[in-house]
């Protein structure tokens, strides 16, 4: 049997296997969407959609704009997950397409004009299987499937950047890019900037592409400057909001992560350790190796992906030394490394060590994925009281219902006692479930909630909701705190015989601003 016959002898072709995998993950996400209450970030961006604006204090507006229609039609926990689940499907499709397109043949720089149809079929089949395995690598992590169910600014950013990489690849295949390609490039860069401020790395990446690929003549093309104009027009809502709010969002992002004057290796290593876990050891180790492997920069496909990934890694490597990076912040970079890692593994698949490592990683990913998704569905693993890892995201609906009940018991139905929390994330949880009531944050730091509800006024009384992992009892008689607080109720929330989280409700008087 020749190679072409063997390719056709597969019971399932790569794109069919890919479709089945994506359908399976989508089904899992849909089931969980109806079962799991919103996390803090999810609730925050759902509130963006309920209270649309030109932009927001914490982030650019696209993450909220995408939630406007779902929140208008289905203002529920599962409704807030329609967009991220849809974006994750699109992310899988684009990752498959980018992998297949960029690694269509093993040696991009060679010409195969006289190659036989058998070799062409082999190359095509190989690249399609690379596409499938890139989806296995994506969905085999802990982080990407989680992001595929909960809305984050990174979700639209990753989709947009994959589209941008594919577009730039097409532009590099011709001497003169078309006007349509330039306009699309401007649109994608603008949309990326509307997704997350770290999209600034795309400007660096595009300059590196132009320099490394020796495309200096692009500077003379009117299309490039039209792309700059389009990108600027796209981000005008972001610029307008900041201009009328004293550049609050820009200043916040500039100071975010730079509060610590000293850079410490301990913070960097803790951030890397978290990434090793959530992106899998195999992808983590090989990803770092691929970035330092000189040969990858000699291959145009791998080089293009690295030129977009490395600036993201550099940004968060530097930033994590000053403030530990959350694991999802560099997700874009790990996403872009997947095709390179998968291509290397495919080329090395006959080596025993590689086959063993991949088999072990697949088994580990399957076990961890099953544990993670089943645990999200119902926290069945026994933990000691108040030691459950999901305690920060659990029970807020019950806490909100209890707060509303206490407001009634305190006899303030017409003018209910204002609700307070000590953190913007808690405020997101609580506001989502008590809307349209305002919730005030007692930190004294500027948050999005001051733009929505205004600042708490001096002398206000309030009902303070405090989870057990905060300071109990709350601090009093100091700035941005109450003069006095009295415990009204304690709400322990139990599952499988252990307390996951406890909420404390305090009737507080005379807020000190």
**Based on the domain organization, do 347 and 464 belong to the same domain?**
no
**Based on the domain organization, do 285 and 402 belong to the same domain?**
no
Domain-embedded: residue 242: yes
**Based on the domain organization, do 44 and 110 belong to the same domain?**
yes
**Based on the domain organization, do 352 and 491 belong to the same domain?**
no
Neighbours of 495 (CB within 10 A): 17
Taking only the tens of pLDDT, the chain with its 513 residues reads 454 455 455 467 888 999 999 999 999 999 999 999 999 999 999 999 999 999 999 999 999 999 999 999 999 999 999 999 999 999 999 999 999 999 985 444 333 334 444 444 445 567 789 999 999 999 999 999 999 999 999 999 999 999 999 999 999 999 889 999 999 999 999 999 999 999 999 999 999 999 999 999 999 999 999 999 999 999 999 999 999 999 999 999 887 756 667 888 999 999 999 999 999 999 999 999 999 999 999 999 999 999 999 999 999 999 888 888 899 999 999 999 999 999 999 999 999 999 999 999 999 999 999 999 999 999 998 899 999 999 999 999 999 999 999 998 887 556 789 999 999 999 999 999 999 999 999 988 899 999 999 999 999 999 999 999 998 889 999 999 999 999 999 999 998 889 999 999 999 999 998
Nearest-5° Cα angle at 97, 351 to 32: 90
Domain-embedded: residue 351: yes
Q: Is the peptide bond before 176 cis (omega within 30 degrees of 0)?
A: no
**Based on the domain organization, do 361 and 274 belong to the same domain?**
yes
**Based on the domain organization, do 210 and 294 belong to the same domain?**
yes
* Dihedral sign of CA atoms 226, 230, 235, 237 in order: positive
Neighbours of 366 (CB within 10 A): 11
Domain-embedded: residue 385: no
Domain-embedded: residue 109: yes
**Based on the domain organization, do 175 and 294 belong to the same domain?**
yes
The range of the structural domain enclosing residue 446 comes to 391-512
**Based on the domain organization, do 356 and 485 belong to the same domain?**
no
End residue of a domain, out of 346, 375, 404: 375
DSSP character at residue 444 = -
- Confirm if 393 and 40 have CB atoms less than 8 A apart: yes
- Count of domains forming the chain: 2
pTM here is 0.92
Domain-embedded: residue 382: no
Contacts of 277 (CB under 8 A, 6+ apart): 142, 327
Contacts of 247 (CB under 8 A, 6+ apart): none
**Based on the domain organization, do 359 and 414 belong to the same domain?**
no
Quickly list DSSP for 441-472. Answer: E-S-S--HHHHHH-PPPTT--EEEEEETTS-S
Phi and psi, residue 280, nearest 5°: 80, 140
E strands within 159-275?
none
**Based on the domain organization, do 349 and 478 belong to the same domain?**
no
**Based on the domain organization, do 343 and 457 belong to the same domain?**
no
Report the alpha-carbon distance of residue 5 to residue 282 in Å, rounded.
33
Please identify which residue in the block is written with the tokens 């139990």.
494
Domain-embedded: residue 217: yes
**Based on the domain organization, do 89 and 205 belong to the same domain?**
yes
Please identify which residue in the block is written with the tokens 């860069």.
189
Domain-embedded: residue 383: no
């Amino acid at each position: 049997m020749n190679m072409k016959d063997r390719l056709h002898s597969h019971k399932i072709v790569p794109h069919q296997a890919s479709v089945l995998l994506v359908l399976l993950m989508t089904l899992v996400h849909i089931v969980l969407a109806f079962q799991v209450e919103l996390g803090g970030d999810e609730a925050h961006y759902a509130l963006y959609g309920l209270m649309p604006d030109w932009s927001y204090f914490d982030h650019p507006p696209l993450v909220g704009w995408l939630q406007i229609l779902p929140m208008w039609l289905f203002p529920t926990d599962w409704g807030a997950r329609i967009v991220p689940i849809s974006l994750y499907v699109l992310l899988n499709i684009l990752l498959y397409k980018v992998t297949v397109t960029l690694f269509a043949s093993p040696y991009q720089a060679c010409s195969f004009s006289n190659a036989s149809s058998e070799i062409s079929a082999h190359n095509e089949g190989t690249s399609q299987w690379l596409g499938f395995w890139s989806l296995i690598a994506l969905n085999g992590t802990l982080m990407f499937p989680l992001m595929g169910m909960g809305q984050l600014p990174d979700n639209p950013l990753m989709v947009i950047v994959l589209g941008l990489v594919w577009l730039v690849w097409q532009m590099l295949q011709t001497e003169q890019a078309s006007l349509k390609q330039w306009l699309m490039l401007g649109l994608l860069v603008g949309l990326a900037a509307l997704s997350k401020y770290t999209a600034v790395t795309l400007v660096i990446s595009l300059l590196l592409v132009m320099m490394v690929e020796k495309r200096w003549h692009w500077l003379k093309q009117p299309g490039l400057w039209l792309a700059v104009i389009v990108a600027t027009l796209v981000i005008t809502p972001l610029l307008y909001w900041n201009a009328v709010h004293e550049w609050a969002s820009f200043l916040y992002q500039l100071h975010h992560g730079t509060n610590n004057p000293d850079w410490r290796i301990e913070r960097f290593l803790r951030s890397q350790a978290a990434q090793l876990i959530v992106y899998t050891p195999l992808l983590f180790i090989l990803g770092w190796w691929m970035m330092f492997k000189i040969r990858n920069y000699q291959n145009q496909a791998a080089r293009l992906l690295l030129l977009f990934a490395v600036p993201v890694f550099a940004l968060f490597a530097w930033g994590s030394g000053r403030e530990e990076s959350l694991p999802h912040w560099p997700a874009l970079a790990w996403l872009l490394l997947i095709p390179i890692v998968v291509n290397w593994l495919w080329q090395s698949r006959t080596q025993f060590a590689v086959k063993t490592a991949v088999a072990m990683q697949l088994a580990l990913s399957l076990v961890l994925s099953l544990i993670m998704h089943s645990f999200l569905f119902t926290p069945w693993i026994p933990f000691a009281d108040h030691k459950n890892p999901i305690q920060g995201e659990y029970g807020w609906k019950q806490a909100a219902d209890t707060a509303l009940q206490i407001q009634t018991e305190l006899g303030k139905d017409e003018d209910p006692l204002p609700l307070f929390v000590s953190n913007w994330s808690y405020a997101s949880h609580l506001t989502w479930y008590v809307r349209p009531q305002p919730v005030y944050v007692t930190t004294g730091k500027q948050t999005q909630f001051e733009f929505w509800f205004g600042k708490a006024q001096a002398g206000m009384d309030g009902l303070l909701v405090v989870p057990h992992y905060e300071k109990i009892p709350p601090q009093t008689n100091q700035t941005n705190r109450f003069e006095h607080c009295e415990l009204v109720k304690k709400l322990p929330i139990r599952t499988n015989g252990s307390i996951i989280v406890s909420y404390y409700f305090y009737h507080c008087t005379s807020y000190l601003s």
